[in-house]
Amino acid sequence: MSKSFKFIPDYGETDDPKIRAKYGYLEATVSIIGNTLLFLLKLILGLYINSIALIADGVHSLSDTATSGVVIFGFRIAAKKPDKEHPHGHGRAEYISTLIIAILLIIVGLGFIQQSIERIITGETLIHGEFAILISIIVIISAIVKEVMARYSNALAKKIDSDVLKADAWHHRSDAISSIGVSIGILGSRFGFPILDPIFGLSVSIIIIYVGIRLLKTSSNFLIGKAPDEKIIKKIEEIAEKTDNIKGIHDISLHDYGAKKILTLHVEVDSSLQLDEAHKIADNLEEKIKNQTKYSTIIHLDPSSKVSKNSEDMLEKRKVINTILEKQKEIKSFHKVSIIQSGEKDKVKMHLVVDKDMPIQESHDLCHALKLLLIKQYGFCDIDIHFEPCINNCKMCTLSCEKKSNL
């Protein structure tokens, strides 16, 4: 955070809707106080010198006060806990607030376009022109104040990643820009160019409408549902590339609920993998994405259509293991055989079903013999063998027993 904004408090975890609401209330309170004072100042000065541009600018500041009320309302709704009708929470209320702000801006801008055009046609001029320079200086100072408010709102917006606060920051900045134009218009009128006042009033109105349309488009896109930003897609692809055993990803979607964001994607893995191995890969990727982006993740696993050398190697390795285990008369059945590839050597895990009366020494000798066979025929690897006692009438083992009796 910039040193200029050390007075921004640290309320805690910004993913919590209640914490986000505190930042929203702070921004709205500062905006309401500042904009109310600026509105009164601009209105009084505008009426005193009969400046349509300055009066329009004052009402622009007042509209900022109204939108701050919308900000408070939006964050209050967004802070509500998830319920049966809204299982993902109420975070999108922030975007609805942005939509309302945008509509208010457009209405205000259209109203002042009408008044500015009327002023151009009637040719009204400023009164009390002797105070024009002083009033212009005051208006410039108000523009500086509005820019400070815009930066403060933007700093809070970045802290909690809030589009509604970014919208309010743009509202402040548009007011600052329009105030500079108003100041130029007043000075122009003072020095013999009275048409500059309504012309700058018109330009202020166009700026207001432009910002309103931009915010309307942004909030509507979020409410309708938009594709993830290219930066997000690239980030997820980079994380996937650095995750073992992932061959590709596709169909990335981002579901934005304000503070809560859910990422869904399809992940391609080796078709020869067992379910528990594939599940571990998905869990690993989900954890990495959560740590680096704070997005919740839903992963759909797809068997890879790519036939790679690695896939052929895995199938061959499984064949070697199965052949060794099937030839051991002491082993009645085997399951949960998995191969985990990591670093220089594989880790092989297996569950072996043996006679429940097998002595400990015999099981120990069998384990040792199996490890020697595996290392000799499979290759250098870590081996984890888990023995399970045979239970009569075990459906899982029936076929294996029949096969063993024919050997």
Domain 230-303: which CATH class?
A: alpha beta
pLDDT digit string (tens) for 106-145? 887 787 788 778 767 766 566 666 777 888 888 888 889 9
Which CATH topology does 3-224 take?
Answer: Alpha-lytic protease prodomain-like (1.20.1510)
Q: According to the model, what pLDDT value does residue 227 have?
A: 62
Q: According to the model, what pLDDT value does residue 88 have?
A: 63
Question: Do 230-303 and 3-224 have the same topology in CATH?
Answer: no
Query: Any residues with CB less than 8 A from the CB of 245 and at least 6 apart, and which?
Result: 269, 270, 273, 277, 281, 341
Q: What is the DSSP string of 317-382?
A: HHHHHHHHHHT-TTEEEEEEEEEEEETTEEEEEEEEEE-TT--HHHHHHHHHHHHHHHHHHT-SEE
Q: According to the model, what pLDDT value does residue 129 have?
A: 64
Q: According to the model, what pLDDT value does residue 3 have?
A: 45
In 3D space, the residue among 45, 35, 55, 41 whose CA is nearest the CA of residue 198 turns out to be 55
Residue 295 CA to residue 275 CA, distance in Å, equals: 24
Query: What's the whole-model pTM score?
Result: 0.50
Per-residue pLDDT of the chain (407 residues; tens, 9 = 90+): 444 445 677 777 777 777 888 888 888 888 899 889 988 988 888 888 877 767 777 877 777 777 777 777 777 776 677 667 765 666 666 677 778 778 877 887 787 788 778 767 766 566 666 777 888 888 888 889 989 988 998 888 888 877 778 878 877 887 787 778 778 777 877 777 777 767 777 877 787 788 788 878 877 776 766 666 677 778 888 888 888 778 777 777 777 766 567 778 888 877 666 777 778 888 888 888 888 777 778 888 877 655 445 566 777 888 888 888 988 888 888 887 877 766 567 788 888 988 888 888 888 889 988 888 888 888 888 888 888 888 765 555 544 555 544 44
Residue 59 CA to residue 39 CA, distance in Å, equals: 6
**Cα angle at 106 between 104 and 110, to 5 degrees?**
120
Handedness of CA 312, 317, 319, 320 (dihedral sign): positive
Residue 9 CA to residue 61 CA, distance in Å, equals: 26
Residue indicated by tokens 């009438």: 393
| Range 309-405 classified under CATH 3.40.47.10 | no
Residue 164 CA to residue 96 CA, distance in Å, equals: 9
> Any idea where the domains of the chain sit in the sequence?
3-224, 230-303, 309-405
